[in-house]
Amino acid sequence: MEERLLATARDIHGLYPHVHIWGWPIATYLFLGGLAAGILLFATLYYLKGKEDDMPFTVKIAPIFTFFFVSFGSLLLVYDLHHKPFFWRLFTAFRIESPMSWGAWTLMSVTLFSLLWPLSFIDDIHEYLHERGWHRMEKITAWIIRMEHKWKLFRWVVMFFRKYRTVFAWILLFLSIILGIYTGILLSAFNAHPLWNNSILGPLFLTSGVSTGSAFVMWLSNNKKERKLMSTIDMALIATELFFIVHMIMGMQAGPEAYKEAAHLFLGGQFTVLFWVVFVGFGLVLPFILEALELKGLHIHPALPALLVLVGGFIFRIIMVYAGQMSEYHFL
């Protein structure tokens, strides 16, 4: 066995010249978690408003994808763990002061509900897919319907959820908000990094996640009224997101030296172009302009602003994960 005496933290991999523990898996999880939260928030909100027939893609179809988004994001979390076989220990206890504990239980609950929610609309979904010509997905729903009638326990669970769907909608609405905020709280809980130690991250990540959820619906829905409504909502969300971003930067600029150095990463530092040009310019401002022009009557394919918002949301999380690890306090 080789013994090493560490006289300085500079010998510790991942800590020098700055912390580099988290990478693309965590950033991707944060994006998928926010996207799923946004989709589920709209689905439950408009169901509770009695709009499930007027907005079928928002309420019934889009939530199908959330199960896969959340499941894949959870797999990325396990992949990023150093001791992967022991991830299950997160579910043996609940600590109210721990963001990780909140996240683990919220993810498990959202995964279950995001599976049961579309199952409760399975007949309507099958009909919608048939009308859209999505034959491969139609075959899957047809198989699920046959299994529902064949397996009594499966049918009982679906019927129970369908009977109390309104109650579960309120629960899922609450969980979607928690999930969206948690993706920001997860970072802000790390006090050793000034960029992350910011109370505005929770609302900012929630707003960004809901924006990507509206963009997802706007991209894939074939209902003009549905797309127009989501475009209008997305414009308001983008404006709110820009408001949070500006105030986050202003708050760091008015803070101690460590916070000013963190803000410098976006104000002349190595993330300046990626943050302001790629994320803010192409991921927020440009889609806002395109959506405004579309609402004014100019023909713009809805996929263009929607994809810009989705890509921008992913890049934002990449930036925050990597830049946050580079921001740190300096001790003499």
- Domain assignment present for residue 33? The answer is yes
The reported pLDDT for the residue numbered 183 is: 83
Residue entry with tokens 């946004």 = 38
Distance separating alpha carbons of residues 281 and 96, to the nearest angstrom: 38
**DSSP state letter for 255:** S
The predicted structure's pLDDT at residue 59: 95
Given a contact cutoff of 8 angstroms between Cβ atoms, the answer to whether 33 and 185 are in contact is no
How do residues 267-299 score in pLDDT, each as one tens digit? Answer: 888 899 999 999 999 999 999 999 999 888 888
Distance CA 73, CA 9 (A): 32
- Could you tell me the two tokens for 176? 């979607």
pLDDT (0 to 100) of residue 270: 87
Residue 68 placed within a domain: yes
Could you write out the DSSP letters of every residue in 50-107? T-TTTSHIIIIIHHHHHHHHHHHHHHHHHHH-SSGGGGGGGGS---TT-HHHHHHHHH
In a domain, 332, yes or no: no
Looking at this protein, which amino acid is placed at residue 151?
Answer: W
Mean pLDDT of the chain: 85
CA count, 13 A, side-chain hemisphere, 227: 18
In a domain, 3, yes or no: no
| pLDDT, position 309 | 97
Taking each continuous run of H as one helix and of E as one strand, the counts in the chain are: 14, 0
Q: What is the pLDDT of residue 300?
A: 86
Average pLDDT rounded to a whole number, residues 191-200: 82
Mean pLDDT throughout 201-205?
Answer: 91
Q: Is residue 331 part of a domain?
A: no
* Mean pLDDT comparison of 89-98, 102-111, 121-130, highest-scoring range: 121-130
Question: 122-132 and 135-150 helices cross at what angle (nearest 10)?
Answer: 160
- Whole-angstrom distance, CA of residue 172 vs CA of residue 170: 5
Q: What is the mean pLDDT of residues 9-34?
A: 71
Domain that holds residue 114: 10-326
Q: Burial of 152 by CB count in 10 Å (0-12 exposed, 13-18 middle, 19+ buried)?
A: exposed
Q: Which residue has the higher pLDDT, 319 or 85?
A: 319
193: DSSP letter:
-
Q: Tell me, what amino acid is at 43? A: A
Q: Which H or E element spans position 31?
A: helix 24-48
The whole-angstrom separation of Cα 11 and Cα 161 is: 55
Residue 20: pLDDT above 80? no
pLDDT tier at 207, thresholds 50, 70, 90: very high
Whether the ω angle into residue 85 lies within 30 degrees of 0, i.e. cis, is no
pTM of the full predicted structure? 0.88
Residue 1 lies in a domain: no
pLDDT above 70: residue 87:
no
Which pLDDT score is estimated for 28? Answer: 93
Poorest-pLDDT segment among 37-41, 86-90, 312-316: 86-90
pLDDT for 236 beyond 70: yes
Would you place residue 330 in the very low, low, confident or very high pLDDT band (cuts 50, 70, 90)?
low
The kind and range of the H/E element at 239 are: helix 224-253
Is the pLDDT at 27 greater than 80, yes or no? Answer: yes
91 within some domain? yes
Q: Is residue 288 part of a domain?
A: yes
Percentage above 90 pLDDT, the chain: 45
CATH code: domain of residue 260: 1.20.1630.10
**Total domains, the chain:** 1
